[in-house]
Amino acid sequence: MHLRPFALITLLWCLVATTGAVELHREDHHTCSTCNAALARSMEYLRKNFDKQVATDGWYAGMLNSFWGGFAFLIDGNSPKEAKVCADRMRFYLETWAKKGMGYDGWFASMSMFYLSEYCLRYGTTPELKAALEFGAKFAHKTRESEGGWFHNPRWGGPNYAIDISGVGCGYFAAVRNMERLGLETGPALSDVNDYISKVCDGRSVAYGLNGRGGFALASGSYVLIGLTSSGAGDDPKVAGIGGHLLENVERIRNAHANGNLHHFGVAAALHRSSPEAYARFAGFYLHKYFIPNMASDGSLAPFPNDNTKPPEEAYAELKKGGDYAATAILASMIMMTRQGAFSPYPPRKAGLPPNKDCFAKAQTLLGSGKLAQAHEQLSNILPGGGDDQLIPVAQKQRKALEDLLNQRVLALRERLAQADPVDRTAAEPLAIAIHTSGVQAAALEKLAAGLPVASDAKIVAGEARKRLTRLRGKFGPSLAKDTAEAPTADGTPFAHDSELAAGMVRVLALGKDGNL
């Protein structure tokens, strides 16, 4: 996702102001022989050690490896099996570890939810993942401290060295905002996280906790930017503000407090989301100079440093010790993010799809003719890598509006089906028309992406609608509501017998006008 023009101008100004003589790395890793070779080595290490370091490690290191390893496999786009295993591990750390209070509950819950929500944006929401995330939202609300934030473990108001840790709260923010986009139930957690960010973020940076507003918690700020861009709020002023702050401090990541892996990954991912030029600045300073040359012989790295007392050459030389799965996954992610759109809040684009421009035009035609399932598929194909990136946010908004509209109509149909069977034709005909018209849409819902909150529900509703309509026709005659399905009105509007659906489709089609090229 790229920034809107004003935000991009802001970041470019920061780029000019901070670039100096630093080389920009604009090459995709596929065309950079150094990056390509390093990526092959690091991915080989990750796959070779996956079972031991991720799949069967149930302690603290296993959580970190599942988190950062999971993001590497998500960004790779060709590792759905490994990404799913990491999702399963994150479910364990959320639903079992945090729930039982086994230590670092705030960190484990927020990081697990962050990864799971990003995973669902790409691969869809299963009932198990839905349940896990919705439990997490309740857990976040339950464990929020009286001051308004979250700590390593819930303090329950007790004393400690800080009242909260912004890394936990900002992780919850990214996850819960993603849940909102996915259509999952957030409960009061959505209000909680939005309120927290308003207190800890000054629009450009994030404080260590609620002891201040704005500061040098680089990973926390990165989480806010990622959460906003993933949830479709890329035009929020905080995105440009935080992106600019990260760019100004890109050479000072080691100054951030505590875990070096946390800050190095966060800054890289956030700048990648900001713009190609911003990430070229990051990659140009770090990849060929400090990271890739310090890979161990097996392709791994030691943990990223957070020691700002040494010059960077000396500090990053420690990476040569190798052996850290999480740091190696972070390096692999950094290299892959030299490809524009690699860490996108969208699923990987399938090979052989037409250009985005063609998919968008076809989607508008299908929407206009009432072929909603096919239109939804075309909108889902408009992704990074298909050209005309300005169409991506337009298509996403249009697809979400279509999903919301169909969900509403299925809910309305469910209410109709809950009524008792009518006893005469006068009562039967309106119900039969509603079943027939909306029932067609329920059937279409079955063909939509699996991530729809009511996807499994829609099958039940559609089946019941067909059964009910069959009984009504058998009782009152085959002509009942015979020609109501998707029949256009005199002016060509589809869904003539469902005025709310027809009106909703007018709004969905209007959104597509923003994508006219």
Q: What is the pLDDT of residue 516?
A: 61
Torsion over CA: 193, 194, 196, 200 (sign):
positive
pLDDT tens-digit readout, 281-332: 999 999 999 999 999 999 999 999 988 889 999 999 999 999 999 999 999 9
The percentage of the chain sitting over the pLDDT mark of 70, rounded to a whole number, equals 80
What's the whole-number mean pLDDT along residues 13-32?
71
Tokens of 102: 């086994």
Bridge partners of 301?
324
Q: What is the pLDDT of residue 237?
A: 96
Q: What is the DSSP string of 52-98?
A: IIIIT--SHHHHHHHHHHHHHHHHHSS-HHHHHHHHHHHHHIIIIII
Q: Please check the confidence at residue 157 and state whether its pLDDT lies above 80.
A: no
Q: How far apart are CA 364 and CA 98, in angstroms?
A: 45
Give the mean pLDDT of the chain.
84
Q: What is the largest CA-CA distance in the chain?
A: 86
Q: What is the pLDDT of residue 11?
A: 45
pTM value is 0.76
What is residue 471's three-state secondary structure?
helix
Residue entry with tokens 């090979």: 351
Q: Please check the confidence at residue 462 and state whether its pLDDT lies above 70.
A: no
The percentage of the chain sitting over the pLDDT mark of 90, rounded to a whole number, equals 54
Helix, strand, coil % over all residues of the chain, rounded to 5: 65, 0, 35
DSSP assigned state of 41: H
Q: Please check the confidence at residue 439 and state whether its pLDDT lies above 60.
A: no
Residue entry with tokens 């900002």: 170
Q: What is the pLDDT of residue 8?
A: 43
Q: Please check the confidence at residue 107 and state whether its pLDDT lies above 70.
A: yes
> Are 39 and 29 in contact, with CB atoms under 8 Å apart?
yes
Q: Please check the confidence at residue 446 and state whether its pLDDT lies above 50.
A: no
Q: What is the pLDDT of residue 212?
A: 84
pLDDT tens-digit readout, 25-61: 999 999 999 999 999 999 999 999 999 999 887 788 9
Q: Please check the confidence at residue 64 and state whether its pLDDT lies above 50.
A: yes
Residue 20, burial from CB neighbour count under 10 angstroms (0-12, 13-18, 19+): exposed
List all residues 6 or more positions away from 27 whose beta carbon is below 8 Å from its beta carbon. 35, 338
Q: Which of 16-30, 93-107, 312-326 has the lowest mean pLDDT?
A: 16-30
Q: What is the pLDDT of residue 14?
A: 47
Q: What is the pLDDT of residue 58?
A: 73
Q: Please check the confidence at residue 400 and state whether its pLDDT lies above 60.
A: yes
pLDDT tens-digit readout, 204-247: 999 999 988 878 899 999 999 999 999 878 889 999 999 999 99
What's the whole-number mean pLDDT along residues 6-17?
45
Confidence of residue 165 (pLDDT cuts 50, 70, 90): very high
> Are 243 and 286 in contact, with CB atoms under 8 Å apart?
no
Q: What is the pLDDT of residue 347?
A: 74
Residue entry with tokens 């000396």: 314
What's the whole-number mean pLDDT along residues 94-102?
91
Selected residue with higher pLDDT from 20 and 352: 352
Tokens of 414: 């469910």
Q: How far apart are CA 282 and CA 23, in angstroms?
A: 10
What's the whole-number mean pLDDT along residues 402-409?
78
Torsion over CA: 438, 440, 446, 452 (sign):
negative
Q: Which of 6-10, 119-123, 363-367 has the lowest mean pLDDT?
A: 6-10
Q: What is the pLDDT of residue 409?
A: 73
Q: What is the pLDDT of residue 25?
A: 95
Q: Please check the confidence at residue 506 and state whether its pLDDT lies above 60.
A: yes
* Amino acid, single-letter form, for residue 483: D
pLDDT tens-digit readout, 180-206: 988 899 999 999 999 999 999 999 999
Tokens of 130: 């839905």
Tokens of 317: 């030389």
Phi-psi region of 77 (alpha: psi -120 to 50; beta: other; left: phi over 0): left
